[in-house]
Structure 1
Amino acid sequence: MFTPELIADNATKVSLVGDPDLVRELRFSFERLGIVVTDVDPDGSISVGVSRWSRAALLQKASRDLGLPVPRYAVASNPDELEVAAAQLGFPCVVKGDSVEVVRSPEDMQWRGECVVENFVDFDRKISMVAVRSVDPATGELATWYCEPISEGMQPFPLGAATLDNARSVAARITNAIGCRGLFVVEMFVKGDDVYFSDVTIGPSLSGFVTCATQRFGQFDLHARALLGLPIDVTLTSPGAMSSVGVDEVPRAGLARALAMSEVNVVVGQTLAVTLATADTAEQARESARAAVSELRG
């Protein structure tokens, strides 16, 4: 069995926290690079780097300091402030706390802790831009690489040239402001050619899982490489798509049926089973990924 300690007596060591399914995959990526993972805390809610950037701080940074278009928003630290914020922004509005929900009337509001309230953007679509910051071996300087756009579980998702330029510009300014190496999943709303910043995840996310099927290196390998300052390759090798289902809905026979499908893989975690599919087009891959979920459920 491969053991990272055989590479060097003073092997680099890392500790991981976060979602157990994402942490597991990230651990494999680090170990393949000879890194010793000394501690895994699947109950850790967020890393130190991410904790510096609350949703409110991100929106403030994006709008005031970077001049990026963002939805109108307010911060609510108690039920009264939530009620006032929703009344000012109007219904429907979006409440972002531990989860994200669209609130369509005062009767639908429930206090679940400190949150950000945003006005509802009547957008055409929501997209994810995966940006990776690492050391460029040609210059020795920090540089940023961009994966193809992701939306509705598909990659690449077609965008007009102006929209794509705007999306990359938003991703660049946000990741430069955060300033560290790593992989960033930047969420945005698209309305026409306009792009509105919504949120950013530092490190792998569920929406970025599709890169594990579509790219030479998926999000977990890219994050590990970037944190270590290693070369980055975001080459797209095939159109693809992903879908997911709770593991409690997956019988063993369903797993066998899904894995028997052409160009389909299934990653089973502690909470979710993710179906990954490739095809000639991203739309065809999405059909396969969704069909695989149906097979999983039986």
Structure 2
Amino acid sequence: MNIYPKTLMLLGSGELGKEVAISAKRLGCKVIACDRYADAPAMQVADIAEILDMTNSGELKDVINSYKPDVIIPEIEALAVDALDEIERDGITVIPTARATQITMNRDKIRDLASNKLHLKTAKYVYASNSDEVKKAAKELGLPVIVKPIMSSSGKGQSFIRKEEDIELAWELALKKARGVSSRVIVEEFLEFDFEITLLTIRQKDGSTLFCPPIGHEQKNGDYQSSWQPVVITESQLQEAQVMAKAVTQELGGVGIFGVEFFITKESVIFSELSPRPHDTGLVTLISQDLSEFDLHVRAILGLPIPSITVNHPSASRVILSEKNCTKVAYRGIEKALEEEGTKILIFGKPSATKGRRMGVALAKSSTLDKALIKANNSAINVEVIQDDYSN
């Protein structure tokens, strides 16, 4: 029988980490939130906050060894994975595993694993190490193509290339926005798909796999804008996605939730990407499901039962973005955003804003999906991020 409290250390303390911390605290856990900057969202609800360069192996090992947590939960990709491997060998659990964290932080490793080892359907792709190789790849695949850094997240450095003269700029942008030092990009064919889904996949300690009902989502420049649940999908499409999600998560191993993304076309289901943690599109589960993706992640980590996963209402989310740079933030319009029944607003608590930064999310439920989407959109539009010149 489990004895509580358990001590969990979050490596990355953004909005998703904040919700993981809240779910863990509700189960009596002690939470240590780590990030590179002060007052990150998860730090505001954690027991202890640590500021450090998590890409520095020595710093990361020192912080982990000073607390010796029961579990380490990576919430971002920019980590010294060699340190995690060493810590795991010393007996501290890394979620899902140090190996899975290392593979999924690089697009080339997870894509090669999915395509070459597991033979999953993926978009055609070519790696390139200079702009000439990008041009060659684009010619081979046929324009238009997508150019992405090997290491990045939330669509950073991603370009949609329609004509050859845009390639040089796309190459430069991919290098500039890549996480860490990167000298390689992935050039991917542009797929004509009907829609995209996230299949939240939960691996439990007994080896079994559970799935949330699939989530539809809208992206702009590779970054999440809106999501909804349930999404209309055929039984055969769902089964195909579940088979692929189970195959890739079993190969990665460990426990916890994985956000597995797919393109859906009339002919097939195509593997896109995978995150070994709660997914931003899954924020909708905070209003749609009886157990949110964050509750499910923590239960799987702690080896607690998950009797069922139920969607209670058609639900939707819409991100709240900053339209300006703010050194200190305040918000206007929240009272207007909450006027309609069945809506919620989550303000992430980021201390500053840049133009286009995700600062919150509007959640809505209704009798139909269309109504929920309209509610979420209207709610998000009403919230304005402004410079805080009003508080001390």
* TM-score, normalised relative to structure 1: 0.88
| 1:74 has 2:148 as partner | no
Residue 337 of structure 2 is matched in structure 1 by 258
| 1:196 has 2:270 as partner | yes
Check 1:21–1:248 CA distance in 2 against 1; reply closer, same or farther (3 A cut). Answer: farther
1:151 to 210, 216, 221: 216
Residue 138 of structure 1 is matched in structure 2 by none
Residue 311 of structure 2 is matched in structure 1 by 236
| 1:272 has 2:371 as partner | no
Structure 1: gaps (5+ residues): 1-6, 136-140
Which is further off, 210-219 or 75-84? 75-84
Check 1:168–1:261 CA distance in 2 against 1; reply closer, same or farther (3 A cut). Answer: same
For 1:40, give the aligned amino acid: C
Check 1:165–1:275 CA distance in 2 against 1; reply closer, same or farther (3 A cut). Answer: same
Distance (Å, rounded) in 1 between the aligned partners of 2:116 and 2:331: 52
| 1:35 has 2:29 as partner | yes
Q: Percent identity?
A: 31
Which is further off, 72-81 or 211-220? 72-81
State the 1:82 CA deviation. 2.5
SS in 2 for 1:290: helix
Check 1:146–1:124 CA distance in 2 against 1; reply closer, same or farther (3 A cut). Answer: same
Alignment check: 8 A CA contact 2:332 2:384 kept: no
Large movers: runs of 4+ above 3 Å: 42-45, 77-80, 247-253
Q: 1:56-113, CA deviations, whole angstroms, 9 ceiling, x for partnerless residues? A: 1222111222221111111223333333222322211112222233222222232222
Distance (Å, rounded) in 2 between the aligned partners of 1:18 and 1:149: 26
Alignment check: 8 A CA contact 2:10 2:31 kept: yes
| 1:52 has 2:103 as partner | yes
Alignment check: 8 A CA contact 2:13 2:33 kept: no
Alignment check: 8 A CA contact 1:215 1:236 kept: yes
| 1:283 has 2:362 as partner | no
State the 1:251 CA deviation. 6.3
Distance (Å, rounded) in 2 between the aligned partners of 1:12 and 1:96: 39
Residue 4 of structure 1 is matched in structure 2 by none
User: Residues 167-178 of structure 1 correspond to what in structure 2 (within 5 A)?
Assistant: 167-178=241-252
Aligned residues: 285
Distance (Å, rounded) in 2 between the aligned partners of 1:239 and 1:175: 27
Residue 62 of structure 2 is matched in structure 1 by none
Residue 125 of structure 1 is matched in structure 2 by 195
SS in 2 for 1:142: coil
Which is further off, 192-201 or 49-58? 49-58
Q: 1:164-212, CA deviations, whole angstroms, 9 ceiling, x for partnerless residues? A: 1111111111111111111111111111141000000111121111111
Alignment check: 8 A CA contact 2:320 2:381 kept: no
State the 1:240 CA deviation. 0.3
Alignment check: 8 A CA contact 2:123 2:191 kept: yes
State the 1:248 CA deviation. 5.4
Residue 16 of structure 1 is matched in structure 2 by 10
Distance (Å, rounded) in 1 between the aligned partners of 2:299 and 2:252: 18
| 1:88 has 2:128 as partner | no
Alignment check: 8 A CA contact 2:13 2:34 kept: no
Alignment check: 8 A CA contact 1:128 1:151 kept: yes
**What RMSD, in angstroms, separates the aligned Cα atoms of the two structures?**
2.1
Which is further off, 116-125 or 77-86? 77-86
Distance (Å, rounded) in 2 between the aligned partners of 1:115 and 1:28: 37
State the 1:234 CA deviation. 1.8
Residue 161 of structure 2 is matched in structure 1 by 103
* TM-score, normalised relative to structure 2: 0.68
